[in-house]
C-alpha cells in the first residue's frame, strides 16, 4: 500500500476518505500520530504527518524510528515523503516541486537506525542510491500525467534545524553539490531502507535558501509558496495512486 509522509504545509490530505486510524504506539516509542488509513479517489492509502496533527514536533524531535515502524506495521509497501525545502539552486522557484536523487546528511544526535545493537543486531545497509528508482520514475510519470512540472534530480541536504542556515553554511553546502536544503529527510530515508521499503522524496520548494537572493523573503510569500507547492504535490499523489502497479 502506498504511504505518504506529510511535512510542513501538508498535515492532512484534503481528499482522503479516512477508514481507520492505527495506534501510535510502537516498540520504539510513539509515532508522530497514529497512521491514518483511507482511500484517495478510490485508491487505498496510508498517511502520516511527521510533525504530528497539530504540527508541534520539531524536526530534531520527531521519532523517525517509530514513524517508519508504524508505517510498516500498517502495511506500507512504498513511501513518498513530502519535504519542504529551501532552494540552493536559484533556478528552482518557490512553489515548484523537485525530485532529489541523492542526499547528504548534516544532522546530528538523531536516533538514526534500527540496527543499533539493542533493538536489532548491527547490520550495514547498502545506501549508495538513497531513493528508490522505480518509485522516482513513477513520480515523474504521475507529475507528467497531472500536468505538473517536476524538476528531476539533485542532492538534498538535510540540516539539523530547527534554525535556518547561515549564508556561509549554504555557500558551503552548495559547494558540496546540494541543490535543496531541508530538515526532515534524514534519518527517514535510511530507516525506510533498513526496513526494505521503497522510499522517495518529493521536495516542496518554499524559499530561496539563506544568501541565495539579496532580499529577505516575507513570511506571507513563503506561506503562499508552501500552499501552492502543497496543492501541486497533492495532485501528483492523486495521479500516482491511480497508476497501475
Instruction: Specify the long-range contacts of residues 159-164, CB closer than 8 Å, at least 24 apart.
Output: 159/106, 159/107, 159/183, 160/59, 160/60, 160/106, 160/107, 160/108, 160/109, 161/58, 161/59, 161/60, 162/58, 162/59, 162/60, 164/86, 164/210
Which of 164, 195, 217, 224 binds ligand HPA (CB under 6 A)? It is: 164
Q: Torsions phi, psi of 42, nearest 5?
A: 90, -15
**Angle in degrees, 0-180, between the axes of helices 219-241 and 133-146, rounded to the nearest 10:** 100
Q: Where are the alpha helices (DSSP H) in 125-218?
A: 133-146, 167-175, 188-194
Q: Which residue in the block uniquely carries the three cell numbers 504527518?
A: 49
Binding mask 7-46 for ligand HPA (x = CB under 6 A): ----------------------------------------
Give the shortest CB-210-to-ligand HPA separation in angstroms.
6
Cell of 128: 549508495
Which of 138, 202, 203, 206 binds ligand HPA (CB under 6 A)? It is: 206
Give the shortest CB-60-to-ligand HPA separation in angstroms.
12
Which of 26, 63, 113, 159 binds ligand HPA (CB under 6 A)? It is: 159
> Radius of gyration of the chain from Cα atoms?
17
Give the shortest CB-56-to-ligand HPA separation in angstroms.
17
181 in contact with ligand HPA (CB under 6 A): yes
Q: Which is nearer to ligand HPA, 86 or 198 (CB)?
A: 86
Which of 105, 151, 165, 234 binds ligand HPA (CB under 6 A)? It is: 165
Q: Check residue 41 and report its DSSP letter.
A: T
Q: Which is nearer to ligand HPA, 32 or 207 (CB)?
A: 207
Residue nearest to ligand HPA (CB): 86
Say if CB 241 and CB 2 are below 8 A apart.
Answer: yes
Distance of alpha carbon 29 from alpha carbon 64, whole angstroms = 10
**Residues of this chain, 75-104, that bind ligand HPA according to CB under 6 A:** 84-86
Give the shortest CB-222-to-ligand HPA separation in angstroms.
8
**Residues of this chain, 121-150, that bind ligand HPA according to CB under 6 A:** none
Binding segment toward ligand HPA, per CB under 6 A, in 62-70, 181-189, 191-199, 230-238? 181-189
Give the shortest CB-57-to-ligand HPA separation in angstroms.
15
Distance of alpha carbon 130 from alpha carbon 121, whole angstroms = 22
How many residues at the interface with ligand HPA, by CB under 6 A? 12
Interacting residues with ligand HPA (CB under 6 A): 84-86, 159, 164-165, 181-183, 206-207, 209
Amino acid at each position: 500500500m502506498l504511504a505518504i509522509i506529510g511535512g510542513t504545509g501538508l498535515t492532512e490530505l484534503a481528499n482522503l476518505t479516512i477508514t481507520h486510524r492505527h495506534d501510535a504506539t510502537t516498540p520504539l516509542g510513539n509515532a508522530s500520530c497514529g497512521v491514518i488509513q483511507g482511500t484517495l479517489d478510490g485508491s487505498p492509502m496510508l498517511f502520516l504527518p511527521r510533525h504530528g496533527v497539530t504540527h508541534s514536533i520539531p524536526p530534531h524531535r520527531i521519532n523517525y524510528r517509530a514513524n517508519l515502524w508504524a508505517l510498516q506495521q500498517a502495511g506500507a509497501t512504498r513511501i513518498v515523503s513530502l519535504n519542504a525545502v529551501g532552494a540552493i539552486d536559484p533556478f528552482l522557484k518557490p512553489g515548484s516541486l523537485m525530485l532529489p536523487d541523492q542526499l547528504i546528511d548534516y544532522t546530528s544526535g538523531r536516533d538514526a537506525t534500527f540496527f543499533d545493537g539493542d533493538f536489532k543486531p548491527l547490520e550495514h545497509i547498502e545506501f549508495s542510491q538513497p531513493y528508490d528508482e522505480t518509485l522516482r520514475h513513477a513520480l515523474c510519470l504521475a507529475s507528467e500525467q497531472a500536468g505538473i512540472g517536476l524538476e528531476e534530480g539533485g542532492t538534498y541536504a538535510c540540516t539539523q534545524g530547527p534554525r535556518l542556515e547561515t549564508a556561509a553554511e549554504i555557500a558551503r553546502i552548495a559547494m558540496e553539490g546540494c541543490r535543496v536544503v531541508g530538515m526532515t529527510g534524514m534519518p527517514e530515508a535510511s530507516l525506510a531502507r533498513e526496513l526494505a521499503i521503497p522510499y522517495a522524496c518529493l521536495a516542496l520548494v518554499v524559499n530561496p535558501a539563506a544568501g541565495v537572493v539579496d532580499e529577505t523573503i516575507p513570511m506571507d510569500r513563503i506561506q503562499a509558496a508552501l500552499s501552492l507547492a502543497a496543492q501541486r504535490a497533492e495532485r501528483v499523489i492523486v495521479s500516482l495512486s491511480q497508476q497501475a502497479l
